[in-house]
Amino acid sequence: MTGRLDPPVGGVAHDERKDGLRDALASARERSLALLGPLTPEDQERQHSPLMSPLVWDLAHVAHYEELWLVRRLTGDGPTSPLHDDIYDAFRHPRRERSRLPLLGPHEARAFAAAVRERTFEVLARVDLDPADPLLRDGFVYGMVVQHEHQHDETMLATIQIADGLVYPQPEMDPGTPFAGPEPGDEVLVDGGRFVMGTDDEPWAYDNERPAHEVHLRPFWIDASPVTNRRFAAFVDDGGYHRPELWEPEGWAFRLEAGLEHPQYWRREGSGSWLRRRFGHLEALPADEPVQHVCWYEADAYARWAGRRLPSEAEWEMAASWDPARGSAASRGATSRPRPSAPTSPGRIRRGRPGSVPTPPARIRRGPARGGATRWWATCGSGRAARSPGIRASGPSPTGSTRRCSSVPGTGSCGEAPGPPTRARSAPRSGTGTSRSAARSSPGSAAPGTPEMCRHLAYLGPPVALADLLLDAPHALARQARYPRHQVHGHDDPDGYGVGWYEGERVEPLRHRAIRPIWEDDDLRHLAGRVRSGSVLAAARLASPGSPIEIGGNAPFASGPWLFSLNGIVDGFHGGAGTALRASLGPDRAGDFEGSSDTEVVFALALEHLDAGATPGEALRAAVARVLAVTSARLNLLLTDGNRLAATALGSSLFRRTAPGLALVASEPLDEDPGWRPVGDGSLLEGGRDGVCVSAL
């Protein structure tokens, strides 16, 4: 694809927009060159760590990326050198091998970058920022290149910090205005409610920030300022790195293997005070700066020591995006979306003592009720994590540096989410790099009191191997169960899975279910690679609080020709709502249960309507109405008989992809096919291979 190149166009608005793009490109380049300026050519060409590229590779790669997108893609021109497409393609050579490539030297890399920039500005002067072109609309492709360079600036800073024996000039620090906000230890109550997370119209947002979607959160407390070095040092001095009960089992194993004793780059003086190494300089540890260079395991252990937990991504974003002028969380580019239940101002502050550190509980358990009638489980975090799958820790570094997940500053906060008292346990890790609950009554991961969600899919189409849907697609069910992109309640789905499929002329489906995580089941690979079907329903489970982990609780459930799955929760199911719903069933369905899950009861409600002649869509609509007449719920339902399909979207994400002879519905897209479309919340989908229709539920 090439852009539309025109002669320079007049018009103030048009010129001002391009001026802004030029300024953003120039600012990013100025920063890159300033970072490299104090370094010798040898330091720029050296491989300081197998975890990082030579610094000169980063500069030439940034220029090659700019040439690829802002020159070649928009004009159809060829590369400066065909070799660059190999040498500077980040996917072709691991970082540890890049120093052995025929790289441009520092002078040549700067000359290449300057030549590309000159061509970029020439093209920008002539290109039409066509609103119909997604690359050029609002200058998106230029913003992508700018952000890419800033990301590599951060990578270069990390390389400079890691480098042994490299003493980098200390920047002049502006002391700025003394901080007059909350003291460390102060907490803010966020009342919860609905807010819009992500964006639909922020012009430079990446795909993992899209689409804008409403998220509902329970009230929670969150620290008003980041966790400081002073507070983390108290955890270290209290033996936090030597108390396995504070760590997840795999985190403890990692601590032992990596030899972690304290945050990376900390060092203790003989007198007992802490020092840190910063860009090659040894200095006194600033007690009130946010703690840096700790990985998720360390942050989680600190939180347990403090009697707290890490915040979820949604909790952090709701708190961090608060806009006092609006009286709600800022929408970040989603101003066109309704905000039906904006939370009230998080004005309540629970004061800590200046310079104080948390007092760890005698045992890791829920604390007493504070600030209201509910019990609270305090939370603290070490930074806003990306929504893409997180990397917990890098491999061992032959340079001797301690391996970590991240070398960027931790800017986390502390908070609390309501929940009933339960036994504390080590929850499985989060694939997103965000927080996990420290306690649940059933194995799993959602924050206490947060409704659980699962992932599921239904496929009607040409026969495919089960592995294509469950394991091998870029974002197959196993991957989205472990690393969900759109799951706003819970963080992964480790409590088992199931798959049902139809064979030949057989009316009743076949099923395979297990209580281990779908991504850990080697038997599934053997089965899924051999079974082919044109009708499939599968689900990965995150058990609702109070539900046992058992085969009988795993979808899909089957009855006659039907397969069924629930992604969501029936609120209060184990506290009376389940009894009321069972009592509403007729005698033919009231006793027909193999387990104790809410999913099975909702299925029985739908089956009663199917027995009476309802269509699949009508049956799901009626089942939803009967549940909501008793209690609140989140009900994303899937139902199929191998030929017909019905689904509801009520409280969680749902996407569809259709083509002649194909209907595919899933909690999240399985790949990057542009045919995927979101199913709006509060919708009913019904149809089959010949097409589907979506209507209001």
Task: Answer yes or no: are the C-beta atoms of 16 and 60 closer than 8 Å.
Answer: no
Q: Which residues pair with 349 in a beta bridge?
A: 188
- pLDDT for res 159: 95
Give the confidence band of 222 by pLDDT, cuts at 50, 70, 90.
confident
Residue-wise over 372-406: b if at least 16 C-beta within 10 A, else e?
Answer: eebbbbbbbbbbbbebeebebbbeebeeebbbbbb
Task: Tell me the average pLDDT across 222-229.
Answer: 88
For 536-583, the pLDDT digits (tens) are 999 988 665 445 566 777 889 999 999 999 998 898 887 788 889 988
For 249-300, the pLDDT digits (tens) are 889 999 999 999 999 999 987 767 899 999 999 999 999 999 999 999 999 9
Ordered alpha helix ranges (H), 276-329: 296-305, 313-320
Distance CA 384, CA 479 (A): 22
For 327-364, the pLDDT digits (tens) are 555 544 333 232 323 333 344 544 444 444 444 433 22
What is the three-class DSSP state of 633?
Answer: strand
Residue-wise over 641-677: b if at least 16 C-beta within 10 A, else e?
Answer: bbebbbbbbbbbbbbbbbeeebbbbbbbbbeeeeebe
Instruction: Work out the number of other CB atoms within 10 angstroms of the CB of residue 275.
Output: 14
Distance CA 620, CA 684 (A): 8
For 361-395, the pLDDT digits (tens) are 332 222 222 222 222 223 333 332 322 223 233 33
DSSP 469: I
Cis peptide before 211 (omega within 30 of 0): yes
Distance CA 649, CA 376 (A): 30
Of 76, 77, 200, 79, the C-alpha closest to 137 is 200
For 39-65, the pLDDT digits (tens) are 999 999 999 999 999 999 999 999 999
- pLDDT for res 448: 32
E strand intervals along 198-339: 213-217, 220-223, 266-268, 274-278, 281-284, 308-309, 322-323, 328-329
Q: Which two tokens stand for residue 540?
A: 């990965």
List CB contacts of 34: < 8 A, sequence separation 6 or more.
none
- pLDDT for res 199: 86
Q: What is the DSSP string of 398-442?
A: TTSPPP-S--SBP---EEEEE-----B--PPPPTTSS---SB-SS
For 665-677, the pLDDT digits (tens) are 999 999 988 899 9
* Helix or strand run (H / E) with residue 610: helix 598-611
- pLDDT for res 125: 93
